[in-house]
């Protein structure tokens, strides 16, 4: 289908002479030539958003909520279009986009529209003075999103930002920019006023950098790598601009000897979802010694049955990695791990047969054994279909290994004991802990990372605490005419 590859600024399409090629990881083909923005386009988009903020921030919460519900309805009407485009763009499974990801995009918008009605704080008294708390719109919000679930992760921030009364300038990922453009069309058709939502496409150092450094941006949301977040944070600090960061992960899957092994194996195999390109994935499998051998055998047997291929095929379990450069990055991690003494017990390299046949960037599901805490493969985020398997003896040992990381985004625990589940969940350092489940997300719950996995919490009222200037007005009991 046709996707407009120009910027969306101030309610109209804007092109510029510079472009970049958008390559599909399914087959290595160029699927779009996209406008390549820079400082000029960023300045224009921020100016449009700043102008639009005056009117948008003064609309009532009920008006904003109704408009956003129309946007959500527009998304639902185009789920198939969005799913097809994003699968072609970033290589994620089409069935996942149809059944889960794109419906969640609509839910992201609708949830925060609905949540506005519950955004109240009871007045309270201080020595006869009345305290009244409000959430006031903050201003222009910059949203820089990643390529692994570009539209879903963008609307996780766009939803509350717009609902709060802010205006938005979004910089989509250059490896998967197309659904952001479709979202702009949908929002416009729903009646969102010009300048309230803007899209500037381009490379990180050319479009992202001037956006996060802009003095008229009042909130910055970034999802991506730790090194890039440091640069974003330095720019934000110069303008004292609040930031919300969702960064990397090196999450543990803790399997205790009282666990349901069928469940444990199911959860372990699920960590290959989206070819491992999931920040929340529990890539460090830590299994108690008493069940280690049985878990290992059953997990490897199941993982070996995963089907890799074109993500548009219903029977495929793993698609490609998002780009040639990311494919080479993942392969570099694997080669260095082998050179460092880690043992490959599954996969261990590219799917050469499939890559030759398709021209895509497919990497085999890979599992390492014989690793330790000093190795790069256990310390650094690979962001590919690469897991490590280690044993532990006691509960305390398992907790210590789980926490032996600079990251703290998530953790998954598998145990048959509620008492142990409570103890371990309390002791593990992570923003989200799943017990006998994985990837259960409620939009009203706080979400964010500890350590190098991020700054801040979003979800429910926590989102509005970030996107708004929370104000307390104190009224004296006397002095009225």
> If residue 464 lies in a helix (H) or strand (E), which one and from where to where?
helix 460-467
Are 243 and 256 part of one and the same domain?
Answer: no
Phi-psi domain of 276 (left: phi exceeds 0; alpha: psi -120 through 50; beta: other) = left
Residues near 33 by Cβ (< 8 Å), separated by ≥ 6? 5, 19, 20, 21, 22
In the chain, DSSP finds a helix count (H) and a strand count (E) of: 17, 22
Q: Which among 384, 435, 382, 166 is positioned nearest to 272, based on CA atoms?
A: 384
Are 169 and 281 part of one and the same domain?
Answer: no
Residues near 49 by Cβ (< 8 Å), separated by ≥ 6? 140, 167, 168, 169, 195, 196, 198
**Residue 481 falls within a domain, yes or no?**
no
What are the beta bridge partners of residue 124?
A: 131
465 token code pair: 């605490």
**Rounded CA separation 313/206 (Å):** 36
Query: What total of structural domains would you count in the chain?
Result: 2
Answer yes or no: are the C-beta atoms of 292 and 391 closer than 8 Å: yes
Report the 10 Å Cβ neighbour count for 376: 14
Are 267 and 364 part of one and the same domain?
Answer: yes
Answer yes or no: are the C-beta atoms of 101 and 76 closer than 8 Å: no
> Residue 177 maps to which CATH number?
3.40.605.10
Are 230 and 84 part of one and the same domain?
Answer: yes
Are 198 and 258 part of one and the same domain?
Answer: no
**Residue 444 falls within a domain, yes or no?**
no
What are the beta bridge partners of residue 368?
A: 344, 388
Evaluate the CA torsion angle 31, 33, 38, 44 in order and state its sign: negative
**Residue 295 falls within a domain, yes or no?**
yes
> Residue 272 maps to which CATH number?
3.40.309.10
Answer yes or no: are the C-beta atoms of 57 and 166 closer than 8 Å: yes
**Residue 442 falls within a domain, yes or no?**
no
Answer yes or no: are the C-beta atoms of 47 and 11 closer than 8 Å: no
Are 347 and 415 part of one and the same domain?
Answer: yes
**Residue 480 falls within a domain, yes or no?**
no
Domain of residue 322, residue span: 252-435
**Rounded CA separation 397/412 (Å):** 16
**Rounded CA separation 361/91 (Å):** 9
The one-digit pLDDT tens for each residue of the chain (481 residues) are 799 999 999 999 999 999 999 999 999 999 999 999 999 999 999 999 999 999 999 999 999 999 999 999 999 999 999 999 999 999 999 999 999 999 999 999 999 999 999 999 999 999 999 999 999 999 999 999 999 999 999 999 999 999 999 999 999 999 999 999 999 999 999 999 999 999 999 999 999 999 999 999 999 999 999 999 999 999 999 999 999 999 999 999 999 999 999 999 999 999 999 999 999 999 999 999 999 999 999 999 999 999 999 999 999 999 999 999 999 999 999 999 999 999 999 999 999 999 999 999 999 999 999 999 999 999 999 999 999 999 999 999 999 999 999 999 999 999 999 999 999 999 999 999 999 999 999 999 999 999 999 999 999 999 999 999 999 999 999 877 7
Are 176 and 51 part of one and the same domain?
Answer: yes
**Residue 441 falls within a domain, yes or no?**
no
**Residue 227 falls within a domain, yes or no?**
yes
Q: Which among 388, 385, 379, 371 is positioned nearest to 286, based on CA atoms?
A: 388
What are the beta bridge partners of residue 35?
A: 19
Report the 10 Å Cβ neighbour count for 230: 12
Answer yes or no: are the C-beta atoms of 286 and 413 closer than 8 Å: no
Are 429 and 465 part of one and the same domain?
Answer: no
Are 140 and 207 part of one and the same domain?
Answer: yes
List, by residue number, the catalytic residues.
246, 279
**Rounded CA separation 113/192 (Å):** 13
Q: Which among 361, 352, 354 is positioned nearest to 325, based on CA atoms?
A: 361
Are 146 and 171 part of one and the same domain?
Answer: yes
**Rounded CA separation 395/254 (Å):** 10
Q: Which among 243, 187, 246, 181 is positioned nearest to 217, based on CA atoms?
A: 243
Are 172 and 278 part of one and the same domain?
Answer: no
Q: Which residue has the tokens 């589940």?
A: 421
Are 189 and 261 part of one and the same domain?
Answer: no
**Residue 60 falls within a domain, yes or no?**
yes
Q: Can you give the C-alpha Rg of the chain in angstroms?
A: 23
């Amino acid at each position: 289908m046709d996707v407009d590859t120009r910027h969306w600024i101030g309610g109209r399409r804007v092109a510029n002479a510079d472009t970049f090629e958008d390559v599909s990881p399914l087959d290595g083909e160029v699927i779009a030539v996209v406008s390549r923005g820079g400082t000029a386009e960023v300045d224009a988009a921020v100016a449009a958003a700043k102008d639009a903020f005056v009117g948008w921030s003064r609309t009532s919460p009920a008006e904003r909520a109704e408009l956003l519900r129309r946007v959500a309805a527009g998304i639902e009407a185009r789920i198939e279009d969005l799913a097809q485009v994003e699968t072609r763009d970033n290589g994620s499974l089409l069935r996942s986009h149809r059944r889960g990801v794109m419906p969640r995009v609509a839910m992201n918008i609708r949830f925060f529209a609905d949540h506005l009605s519950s955004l109240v704080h009871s007045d309270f008294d201080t020595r006869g003075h009345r305290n009244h708390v409000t959430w006031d719109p903050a201003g222009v919000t910059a949203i820089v999103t990643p390529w692994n679930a570009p539209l879903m992760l963008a609307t996780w921030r766009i939803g509350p930002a717009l609902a709060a009364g802010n205006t938005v300038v979004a910089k989509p990922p250059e490896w998967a920019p197309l659904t952001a453009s479709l979202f702009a069309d949908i929002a416009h058709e729903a009646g969102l006023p010009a300048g309230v939502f803007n899209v500037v496409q381009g490379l990180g150092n050319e479009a992202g950098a001037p956006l996060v450094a802009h003095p008229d941006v009042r909130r910055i949301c970034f999802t991506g790598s730790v090194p890039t977040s440091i640069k974003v944070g330095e720019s934000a600090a110069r303008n004292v601009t609040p930031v919300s960061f969702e960064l990397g992960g090196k999450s543990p899957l803790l399997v205790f000897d009282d666990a349901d092994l069928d469940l444990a194996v199911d959860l372990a195999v699920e960590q290959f979802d989206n070819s491992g390109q999931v920040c929340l994935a529990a890539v460090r499998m830590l299994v108690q010694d008493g069940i280690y051998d049985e878990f290992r055998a059953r997990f490897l047997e199941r993982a070996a049955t995963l089907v890799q291929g074109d993500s548009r095929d219903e029977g495929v379990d793993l698609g490609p990695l998002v780009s040639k450069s990311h494919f080479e990055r993942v392969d570099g991690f694997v080669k260095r791990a082998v050179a460092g003494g880690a043992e490959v017990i599954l996969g261990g390299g590219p799917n050469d047969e499939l890559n030759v046949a398709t021209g895509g960037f497919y990497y085999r599901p890979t599992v390492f054994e014989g690793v330790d805490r000093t190795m790069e493969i256990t310390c650094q985020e690979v962001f590919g279909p690469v897991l490590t398997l280690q044993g532990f003896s006691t509960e305390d040992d398992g907790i210590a290994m789980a926490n032996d990381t600079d990251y703290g985004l998530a953790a998954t625990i598998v145990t048959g004991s509620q008492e142990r589940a409570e103890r371990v969940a309390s002791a593990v350092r992570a923003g989200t802990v799943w017990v006998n489940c994985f990837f259960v997300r409620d939009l009203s719950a706080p979400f964010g990372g500890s350590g190098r996995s991020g700054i801040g919490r979003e979800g429910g009222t926590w989102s509005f605490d970030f996107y708004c200037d929370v104000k307390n007005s104190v009224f004296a009991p006397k002095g009225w005419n």
